Structure 1
Amino acid sequence: MNKPKLWTKDFISVSLSNFFLFLTFYILLVTLPSYALDELHSSASQAGLMTTVFLLSAIVSRPLAGQWMERAGNKKVLLTALIIFAAASLFYFFPKTITGFLVVRLLHGIGFGMATTAVGTIVADLIPAARRGEGMGYFVMSTNMAMVMGPFVGLLAIQQWGAKILFILSVIVAIASLITGLSVKLTKTEQPNQIEVLSSFSFRNLFEASAVPIAVVGSFLAIVYSALLSFVSIYANEIHLASVSSLFFVVYAIVLLLSRPFTGKWLDQFGPNVISYPCLVLFAFGMFILSQSGSVVTFLLSAGLIGLGWGTLFPTFQTIAIQDAAPRKRGLATATFLSIYDIGIALGSFLVGLIAAKMDYSSLYFYCSFYVLIGVVLFYFLHTKKKNASAKLETQQSSRVQEI
């Protein structure tokens, strides 16, 4: 039996659009705080707001985008979001004060939140149902590759050529996201009439309830992931491995790339439980190895284990969120999942920063390994147990129907 085709032109186009979208995000993420300090003479707290304002506006805009997609169509929302995102990239040339920059970051975050919701929903519709786990895994690889390349490209640009070239580069990459997004062709779906749209709009409809449980699990674990994003390079300096700190996420991405053909297929064949529990243990073990690192080998080994563990868990959780929702609710499910996940990232960056001020990073990552194991329990109660109960209920109902 032939498998349904995965690598279509539209799948590749939307993955490329997502890659350029996140590449712009990571290029600016690592450079704007230092730009604010050096060029705008802001305080450290004001520089930190560069990321906070961006993420908060993305979180707020996602549920609105999800509901809009349900009514106006995926392609319309995607193009609107990418235009906002590209236009906001142009505005970085103009502000001369921190307040002006924060306004631009607010607008940029709105475009980013809408666009990530749209591409995540569109790709779920494009992937054949029988290969959804595999396809989502490959799609998320585009984000992982941007995460590796973005900081490197951004730091190289601002250090070697200055802020102007940095902003030109971010505009070019954002336009590339728009162009690849324009090439995506979607089948038209019937939309509700205007009266239905107005009468059905409510705060409750901004979220998809079925996606909340797995999103909570993802957000819970995202707190640990934020500790890696924010402090792993500082930790590498602390243990005298600064020369290889930049390789951490390179190894992370390589392991993801090598494992993706297997983990995605296993998710489709055996279900999320078979994948999630081993990956949670790998994630915890990787954090433990990281906490004990004293050599290049153990430091990079931890990167590989975390890449295989958390790098597999994230697309698995996103796939669960999409599969548990009705087809016309996938936009809301994607928005709900990503919004709650980003709350974990934002909260984690704040909380882990406070905790890191009270202990060394080795101890921080040591305790994080046990924190991840709590995620095993959380996943069981919020997903596995709930699914088992639903399956049991369906079986009982089916038996009653047959008896009648």
Structure 2
Amino acid sequence: MNKSKLWTKNFLIVSTANFFLYFTFYLLMVTITLFATEKFHASPSEAGLASGIFVIGILIARIFSGRYIDQVGWKKMLYIGFILFLFTTCLYVLVNSMAFLLINRFLNGAAMGIASTATGTIVAKIIPQDRRGEGTGYYALSVTVAAAIGPFLGMFIVGHSTFYMNFVICIIFLVFSFIAVFFIKIPRLEFTKEQLEKRKGFSLKSFFEIKAIPISIIAALIALGYSSILTFLTSYTKEINLVNIGSFFFIVYAVFVLVSRPFTGRCFDKKGENFVMYPAILLFAIALVILSQSHKGFSLLLAGALVGLGYGTTSSSVQAISVKVSPKHRMGLATSTNFIFQDLGVGLGPFILGYFVPLIGYRGLYMIMAVVIFLCLFLYYFLHGRKIAYIEESDESVSA
């Protein structure tokens, strides 16, 4: 049987647009604290707030964009998100006070939340059902590559030019992406009267897809583990005198995600999510153990490789699962629900885990996170994995 076509014009445009969204996000995330410190003499806490308030904006926007994306229309929501994101990115050039910066960071994050919810929903619709895992995996590469290129380019520009050059580059790329999204053709989604009635009023189901919550809980905990790396790796490598080697950590991470993604995506579709999720969660736990015990560059980079195989695989797989278990007419809510939980893990992680560092140190922190991720194996089984195993057994007994 022939495979459904995955690499369509629509898929490429949405993936490219999503790449530039996250490219801007990561580039500004690693440079905005330094911008606030040098431009406005902000304290470390104020500079940290300038970075973190962006995530708060994303969270709030995703809650409401997931709720209303079907009523507004997927393509219209995409346009709204991109216009707001481009406009607020342009405003960075005009920022002249710390208060202005904080307000714009929040609005910029909200726009990012709207736009990324739209791209995630649209791509879930245009990926063929029989290539769900593979397609979602390739789409997630847009975030992975952005996470590697954005921070590198941002710091390079800061070292060789001005902060404003970062803003200009982001604006140019976003304009290019905004033009490209006009050429996307999205299949029309029809709703029954009953489905439209259920969308009226305000309730938990109005803002979250209930069926996607169990796997999204796993996503939040795994994202919490990753946030410990994003937030504290630089300080940790400085403490263990591996700063130079540590700068290659995310490059190695991105390379292993790129290499493994075609294989893991096809396994997801052919063998099922359990075949991918169990080893991926275990590899992420092992990566954190190795990271906690690193004394040499090789072990540090080995941990980066395993994080790519582990976290890189789970982050795309949970997104595919959340859409898979949800009704087709609630793809938007399923996508936003998963993103909200992942953002909670990444956004709240630094605040929560930061309290433990003075007590147990970085090595102790990574060891504790390894235990948390390992326990996710069992939590995944109870929340989702055992249901898949039951369905497979039932199918086998029926066919027999």
1:263 shift after superposition: 0.5
2:315 is the counterpart of 1:322: no
Q: Secondary structure of 2:295's partner? A: coil
209-218 vs 358-367, which deviates more? 358-367
2:158 is the counterpart of 1:158: yes
Amino acid at match of 2:70: E
User: How many angstroms apart in 2 are the aligned matches of 1:173 and 1:367?
Assistant: 40
User: How many angstroms apart in 2 are the aligned matches of 1:19 and 1:120?
Assistant: 12
Aligned position for 1:188: 188
Question: Is the alpha carbon distance of 1:34 and 1:268 closer, same or farther for their aligned partners in structure 2, counting shifts above 3 Å?
Answer: same
Could you tell me the percent identity over the aligned residues? 36
1:196 shift after superposition: 5.0
Instruction: Judge conservation of contact 1:73–1:189 (CA < 8 Å) in 2.
Output: no
Q: Deviations over 1:298-334 (max 9, x none)?
A: 1111110111011001111110000111111000000
User: How many angstroms apart in 2 are the aligned matches of 1:358 and 1:115?
Assistant: 39
User: How many angstroms apart in 1 are the aligned matches of 2:394 and 2:57?
Assistant: 40
Aligned position for 2:215: 214
Aligned position for 2:109: 109
User: How many angstroms apart in 2 are the aligned matches of 1:395 and 1:3?
Assistant: 24
Q: Deviations over 1:259-305 (max 9, x none)?
A: 11110000001111111111111111111111111112111111101
1:159 shift after superposition: 2.3
Amino acid at match of 1:5: K
User: How many angstroms apart in 2 are the aligned matches of 1:191 and 1:95?
Assistant: 44
Q: Deviations over 1:31-65 (max 9, x none)?
A: 11111111111121111111221111111111211
Aligned position for 2:268: 267
Aligned position for 1:172: 172
Instruction: Judge conservation of contact 1:20–1:176 (CA < 8 Å) in 2.
Output: no
Number of equivalent positions:
397
User: How many angstroms apart in 2 are the aligned matches of 1:43 and 1:286?
Assistant: 34
| Counterpart mapping for 1:24-173 below 5 A | 24-173=24-173
Instruction: Judge conservation of contact 1:272–1:316 (CA < 8 Å) in 2.
Output: yes
Instruction: Judge conservation of contact 2:189–2:329 (CA < 8 Å) in 1.
Output: no
User: How many angstroms apart in 1 are the aligned matches of 2:316 and 2:69?
Assistant: 21
1:190 shift after superposition: 3.4
User: How many angstroms apart in 2 are the aligned matches of 1:196 and 1:26?
Assistant: 37
User: How many angstroms apart in 2 are the aligned matches of 1:211 and 1:250?
Assistant: 31
Q: Deviations over 1:192-231 (max 9, x none)?
A: 78x9579714232111101111111110111110010011
Amino acid at match of 2:382: F
Q: Secondary structure of 1:39's partner? A: helix
1:12 shift after superposition: 0.6
Aligned position for 1:342: 343
Q: Deviations over 1:130-178 (max 9, x none)?
A: 0010000000011000000111111111221112212111211222332
User: How many angstroms apart in 2 are the aligned matches of 1:322 and 1:366?
Assistant: 32
User: How many angstroms apart in 1 are the aligned matches of 2:264 and 2:51?
Assistant: 32
Amino acid at match of 1:372: I
Amino acid at match of 2:176: A
Amino acid at match of 2:178: L
Instruction: Judge conservation of contact 1:157–1:165 (CA < 8 Å) in 2.
Output: yes
- Structure 1 residues without counterparts, runs of 5 or longer: 400-404
Return the TM-score normalized by structure 1.
0.93
Aligned position for 1:245: 246
User: How many angstroms apart in 2 are the aligned matches of 1:378 and 1:292?
Assistant: 26
1:352 shift after superposition: 1.5
Amino acid at match of 2:111: G
| Counterpart mapping for 1:356-371 below 5 A | 356-371=357-372
User: How many angstroms apart in 1 are the aligned matches of 2:284 and 2:381?
Assistant: 16
Instruction: Judge conservation of contact 1:73–1:191 (CA < 8 Å) in 2.
Output: no
Question: Is the alpha carbon distance of 1:389 and 1:92 closer, same or farther for their aligned partners in structure 2, counting shifts above 3 Å?
Answer: same
Question: Is the alpha carbon distance of 1:203 and 1:177 closer, same or farther for their aligned partners in structure 2, counting shifts above 3 Å?
Answer: farther
Instruction: Judge conservation of contact 1:71–1:197 (CA < 8 Å) in 2.
Output: no
Amino acid at match of 1:317: V
1:372 shift after superposition: 1.0
User: How many angstroms apart in 2 are the aligned matches of 1:108 and 1:192?
Assistant: 35
Instruction: Judge conservation of contact 2:274–2:388 (CA < 8 Å) in 1.
Output: no
Amino acid at match of 2:45: S
